[in-house]
Structure 1
Amino acid sequence: MPEMPEVESLRTFLIERARGRVVAQTYLTAFSALKTYAPPLDALHGLEVEQIDRHGKFLDLTVGGLHLITHLARAGWLRWREEMPVKPPRPSKNPLALRVVLDDGSGFDLTEAGTQRKLAVYVVHDPAEVPGIATLGPDPLAEDFDRTAFAAILKQAGRAQLKGVLRDQKILAGIGNAYSDEILHAAKLSPFKGADRLTEEETDRLYAALRAELGDAVARSSGLAAQDLKAEKKSGMRVHGRTGEPCPVCGDTVAEVSFADSSLQYCPTCQTGGKPLADRRMSRLLK
């Protein structure tokens, strides 16, 4: 799933290539992806791409007075093309969901792998019209998101487990399954520990890990082409997606906890005092 660092890199990638260009044509091939009907998608035609912003995991293209917003969900991606095919695409079972063609012939495809169709596209006058954006928590890389603000969030979360707190978009914007695993590993904290059970020193560690892991991921992805971002994300992971491999910090074997529709990875030595976590299928944790 693309998370904040990848979406931020896509934002800067599009600023360099799409800003100042005019939308010549759009082709919707996965009709379930479009979540709004007014304004229509073709209202973007002939309008200039003025700016590209990010709201958590949402990518926002300001086009004229409108906003073309997408959430890539678990299996979505943006694929840039320097030259788009002349022939319009047809609805089919291929991964293409939306094609945006610019006035110089370049553009991008929004694609989604797999059978689940959760990629979402919106055309709105105001980003706040998108439900997921309207309820977003603070951006953890914002300049004003300091340790005091983070401690207040943890206190308000009460007994909620840290893994769930980090992933809840209404609490913190932009962090998903992968980077929450990495942040907790760097902070040497159990994903199941209650937010209200942290000591001051543990809160310091978690805040520092939060800022460092996300900041480093953004820096590593800076300047990469869109097609290279997935590989960069995977290569930078120490525990996420590395079940059975040695922890790069202590050498212990990375363990996994499975859920109904996902899983988390952690190092028992670094994070849980050497004790394996029970493989509890608590799907509510990963909502």
Structure 2
Amino acid sequence: MPEMPEVEGLRGFLGEQLAGRSVARVDAVSVAALKTYEPPLSALEGQACGGVDRYGKFLAVRAGELCLVMHLARAGWVRWNERLPAAPPRPGKGPLALRVRVSPGEAGFEVTEAGSQKHLAVYVVRDPQEVPGIARLGPDPLSGEVGPEAFAGLLAGERRQIKGVLRDQSVLAGIGNAYADEILHAARLSPFKLADALSEAEVSRLYEAMGSTLGEAVERARGLAPAELKAGKRSGMRVHGRTGEACPVCGDTVREVSFSDSSLQYCPTCQTGGKPLADRRLSRLLK
């Protein structure tokens, strides 16, 4: 799933490519992905590209007085092509969901979604705040809006596991499953610990780990083409997606807890006092 650092990388790349260009044609291949109908997609055509913004994990391409907003969900992606096919795409069962051709030239980008479960969302709006998912976003962790005291305030009274709180977009915008694992590993905290049970020292460690982990990931993504961003993300992961490998900090084996539609990875030595976490569905939470 693209998270804040990868979406920030896409924002920077698309911003450079679209500068000085206009939208020539927009083709919706997946009608299910389109969540708004007024203004229509065709209203984007002929509009000058005005830049690209990021809102959490949402990407917003400005075109005249409109915005093309995309949420890539779990399996969505953006592909840039210097020479798009001349013929309009045909609706089908492939991954292509949206094609945007720009001028001058024959270049543009395609929005795709792999897999059978389709959650990609595309909106055409006058103001990004019209998109419900954007309107409910919490502050961006790297925006400067969240200082140590404000961060502690966000966690206060949260009787939920800290992993879930970090992933809640209404609390903090942009953190997903992968970076939550990485942040908690850097902070040496169990993903199952309750947010409001954290000590002052643990909150401080978590705040510092969040800033450093996300900041380093954004720097790794900076300047990369879309085709390179996924590999760049994996290269920086210490525990997420590395079940069975050695923890780079202590050498213990990275473990996994699986859920119905996701999984988390962690290091027992670094995060849970050496105790393996049992399956969440069968055990009590580790404190």
Structure-2-length-normalised TM-score: 0.96
Q: Which amino acid aligns with 2:37?
A: Y
Do 1:24 and 1:46's aligned partners in 2 also have CA atoms closer than 8 Å?
A: yes
Distance across 1 between alignment mates of 2:262 and 2:281: 10
Contact map agreement 1:19 1:52 (CA 8 A) in 2: no
Structure 2: tracts of 5 or more residues without a match? none
What do you get for the CA RMSD once the two structures are aligned? 1.1
Counterpart in 2 of 1:71? 71
Assess if the C-alpha contact under 8 Å between 1:155 and 1:196 holds in 2: yes
The alpha-carbon deviation at position 259 of structure 1 amounts to 0.8
Aligned residue identity for 2:114: A
Does 2:113 align with 1:112? Answer: yes
**Ranges of 4+ aligned residues in structure 1 off by more than 6 Å:** none
**C-alpha distance in 2, partners of 1:182/1:213?**
7
**Structure 2 SS opposite 1:218:** helix
Residue aligning to 1:28: 28
Displacement after TM superposition at 1:156 (Å): 3.7
- State percent identity of aligned pairs: 66
Q: 1:67 to 1:156 in 2, by over 3 A?
A: farther
Matches within 5 A, 1:42-121: 42-103=42-103, 104-121=105-122
Give the distance between the partners of 2:83 and 2:150, measured in 1 at CA: 46
Q: Partner of 1:248 in structure 2?
A: 248
Length, aligned pairs only: 282
Rounded to whole Å, the distance in 2 between the matches of 1:116 and 1:51 is 30
The equivalent of 1:184 in structure 2 is 184
Give 1:238 shift.
0.5
Residues 122-180 of structure 1 show CA distances to partners (whole Å, capped at 9, x for unaligned) of 001111111100100010001231111100001042x2110000000011100000000
Q: Is the Cα contact below 8 Å between 1:50 and 1:64 reproduced in 2?
A: yes
Give secondary structure in 1 for the equivalent of 2:156: helix
Structure 2 distance, partners of 1:193, 1:20, is 49
CA contact (8 A) 1:53 1:61 kept: yes
Checking the alignment, whether the CA contact within 8 Å between 2:139 and 2:145 is kept in structure 1 is no
Structure 1: tracts of 5 or more residues without a match: none
1:155 matched residue in structure 2: 156
Cα deviation, residue 15, structure 1 = 1.0
1:197 and 2:197 equivalent? yes
Q: Distance in 1 between matches of 2:157 and 2:2?
A: 27
Structure 1 residue 244 displacement after superposition: 0.7
